[in-house]
Amino acid sequence: MSARSKARKRALDILYQADVRGDDLAATLAAEARRAVSEPAREASWLYAREIVDGVIDNRDEIDEQIATFAKDWSIARMPAVDRAVLRIGVWEILHNEQVPTAVAIDEAVELAKEFSTDDSGPFVHGVLARIARAS
């Protein structure tokens, strides 16, 4: 697994944890940063995970607006928490990270959804992100 794939999983953990617990995302990120100091072997994945989560924090309204617009018949609140987190990562990468090709962002998000969410989540995430990519 590549360092960026590991970072996406780590970002997913942070986003999911804050969402499910109802915690402030910045506080959850700060707690993870304190933990990351003691894990120098995982520094490469931590740096990109932090970039993702910071990007989601900085662009949350725009990201959620895109998800709400392109998730046909699904409100953000109704989505499984894992799907919300995966979509936020994917949308951030598509709209705000020029270093990641759109196809890679979508594929990585779909793989996270398949691994950590429901059987229907992979196609759902793919559909939403593909629509956002086409519109951007």
**pLDDT tens digits, residue range 52-86?**
999 999 999 999 999 999 998 899 999 999 999 99
CB neighbours of residue 98 within 10 Å: 7
Chain position carrying tokens 């959804």: 113
Please give the DSSP secondary-structure letter assigned to residue 38.
Answer: T
Residues of the chain with pLDDT > 70: what percent?
A: 99
Chain position carrying tokens 């520094």: 43
pLDDT of residue 94: 98
**pLDDT tens digits, residue range 85-103?**
999 999 999 999 999 999 9
Confidence of residue 9 (pLDDT cuts 50, 70, 90): very high
What pTM was computed for the model?
0.94
Domains in the chain, start-ordered, CATH in brackets? Answer: 3-135 (1.10.940.10)
